[in-house]
Structure formats: C-alpha cells, structure tokens
Chains A and B, each alone.
Chain A
C-alpha cells in the first residue's frame, strides 16, 4: 500500500524547474552578500546623510564600473575553472595601441583598435590555455607581463592624451539619460552577461566545462571553444574597462592599473565564484562590486587612510566569503 501511494506521488504532472520556495535554496553566500549590502547602505545613510544622494550614488557606481566590467569577464573565466591574471596588461596594452591612433582624429578607430587589441590578447590566452593545455595561471601571468612591457615599449613610457576625441572622452565622462556612461555600460553588459550565463545554450556548456571537464567532453561539449570564448570576452572587458578609466582621467597611462587583476579577482570570489570552477554568477559578482564600492566610499568619507582601507576591504571579503565556502564544504 505504502509503495502504491509513493508511486502515484512520483508520477506528478511536471517537476518544477525551480523550487517553489526559491529563497530557501539561496546559497548562504548569496544571502550574506545581500545582507552585507543592505547593512552597508543603512550604515552609510546613518553616518553620512548625503550617502544616498544621487550625486554620491553616481560616485560609488562610477568608482566600481571599470572593476565591475572586468569582473564580469573574470567571472566567466573562473566559472570554467581557469583564471585570468592578464587583465591589467590587456587593458593597458589595448589603451596604448588605441592611443597610437589618436593622431588620426577618429574616435571610432581608437575605440575599435582598443577593443580589438583586448580581443587579440584574450584569444591568445584562450588558445594557449585551451589548445596547448598550459595552466591559465602561468599563461596569463605571462601575458600580463608581456602586455605591460609592450605597452611601455609602444608608447615609449609616455602617457597619451586623447584630446579632442569627444566620443572617446564621452565614454568616461559623458552621461546618457542623466546616468554616467560607464554606469550605463556596467548595467547593459551585466544584463548581457546574465543572458549569456542563464538564458543561452552557452550557459550550461560554461558551467559543465568548469564543473567537470571530462564529463563535458564526453557529452560532446566543445570545451576548447568554451575556454577560448571566455578568455576572449575577458580580454574585451578588460580593454573596455581600461578605456573607460582612461577616458575618465583624460589620459592613457602606460603604467596604470597596477594590481588591478587582484582587485578584480577579489570581487569575483566575493561574488561567490569558486576558483575550482563550475560555480559563480554574474549577479553575485555585481553585488560584490557594489559592496566593495560602498565600503571604499564610506571609508573615504570617514577619512580612513588608503592602507587601512585595504585592510578593511580584505576583512569584508573574508567575512562574506567564509560562510558560503563552509556551506559548500558541508554540502560535499
């Protein structure tokens, strides 16, 4: 009898694709990120009444736009179980190569060359990692150095000034419907990345490659293409982010973005991506960049020294990441 009732229960019409009580299934990591974000906003408003003013919100978002866009690319790479340490090199080399075309006076050429260079660096990373099987840590550490060195060689170590290129400068300093352009791009690219990871056929291939590359291969997934794609996207994101920063500052600094890869990696990990691959989300990464942006904004407002800021940021990352990792360990 019991068996019968069980069997009838099993032939329910259709199984839910998502749990009915979805919030219960949120990972501890996602919940602690959301909680920390809310707490920071409340705390911020309490200590600085101008915290939630439109101007300050723009300041916060502008400060995280570049790091957030780079982190989208990094998140995709980390989901496949790889790492991209070359982003600062890719960003600076792309900006310098683009900058060489400033004398043409064509913003389109400069922007195009910048993004194309980022793509080339990304494809090179992807090819070396996926086709030749060299660990991405080594490959991208190499391209980081090469990118920085080439940027200095090409530019002769001199900063480049995109004067008169209004379209270029607009990317960093302009507004679109009253919102700073980098912030608009952060949102649009975030939406695109969410679509890519959750609503395209690339998404499952991406998570499968990172979750179990052997199973992915034996299921016919082109893991080489997946890896090359994520590195290419990361390269373009880096170039774009570099360009936004250069445009905002109105000069291309061949020695810029020092240590950027680690900040971006920190945001990615804070966002719940696991360096072992197969786990991570764009929404988590975006939340994480907001957390970092707000922490830095508040510390600035409180006049805390830059060194102490780094300590505080690191503590926040550990505090948010630990519960999620513990949950993952227990789940095993």
Chain B
C-alpha cells in the first residue's frame, strides 16, 4: 500500500494519506506534509518528540496534529523523519491523539523542495473504505 499520493490543486498541495488503521493514516499524513519540504526518508532521526492532542472531531484532530508539527518547524526548524508510535482514542466527548516521532533540525545537509505555511480544511476528507483509511488534506503553501 502506498503511504500517500499527491493530486493537482491550483495554489496548494493536496494529498491523500493511506493506512490500515486511522493511526497509520495519521502518521502517513504527517510524512506527506513534510515530503513537500524535505522527504522524511532522507531525514536523520536525531531528535525525539512526544505530543498529546485533544480535539472535538476527526477532522479537527487531523488539523491540530499537522499544525502542531508546523509549529515545531517554524519555532525549532524541526523536520520529520518518521512517526514511531501513534494512538488515537475516541471517547464520547473528544478524540485524543498520543504520538512519538523523530526528526532533525533543518540544515544545509538537506535540500528543501518547498514550504508549507498552514493546514486547511479545504477539501479535507476522512473515510474508511475496504479496510483502508484515506485522509485527504490541502495544505497552504
């Protein structure tokens, strides 16, 4: 199964991330977003990070998760290598995401391919089909 794929979108980057579980699809969505900048497979996993996020529905959880990673990018020059562990728990009142991931600080060792400014809800879609979760996101560039 592909991790993710990109689609044409006039001004921005649109991708669908896949996963056998919603957790895996969330991890792949993070990799897709960072691939716009520096391909995660080429990033050294030097820095480990942890995060917990709470949101009111799946779309806002995805929005907050990706945006949290952009905060790290802008404030610490953090670029993602991989998501080690990720777990999403859905309760009656909220959704909780708990993740551990690794990456590096951007330096001249990496050749940036572009930049992501913000996550958007534009054309955002989350669905499960035949046992595969598909998360579609447009990020502002």
- Do chains A and B interact in one complex? no
